[in-house]
Structure 1
Amino acid sequence: MSKQIDLHEAMLSVMIGESSLSQAADKYQVSKRSLYSALRFAKQAPEQRQQHLQRVREQLMANIANIDSRLAQQTA
């Protein structure tokens, strides 16, 4: 197996509770540090997506408010 596949298998093993970080690192022959970093990144990704979506939502609402005010000025 490639190292990338081994790392993914180890991550899955830890995420589903099949093994501890140390056990998975030993079983799939990946470094504990790499496994820890990959798990940490995987956990942060959804939070970062949420933050990005919130910023996009705020920008859209600001754009809508801007368009509304322009329309109100044109019709006044």
Structure 2
Amino acid sequence: MLSLHAIFPHYTRAYYIIANMNDATHEIQREFEQAQKARTNGNEGQARVCARRAAGIAIRDYLLRNGIRPPSRS
């Protein structure tokens, strides 16, 4: 029996990319929400930390989608 990957070799890669994009999008959104809460509470420093984390998540997602393995999660 043929697998889906054998019939559509790019399908599983595309599915992986889309699934991870959704994960990254949710992570980025969560960081933006935390940044907004920090700003509302007058904590600009924490808001900047959240913004940097969101940028890191976006960069990591971009690298992974382009076949580049990031050196670490930090």
Range class of TM-score, shorter chain: 0.3 to 0.5
Larger radius of gyration: 1
Higher relative contact order (CA 8 A, sep 6+): 2
Q: Determine which structure has the larger helix proportion and give its number.
A: 1
- TM-score, normalised to structure 1, is 0.47
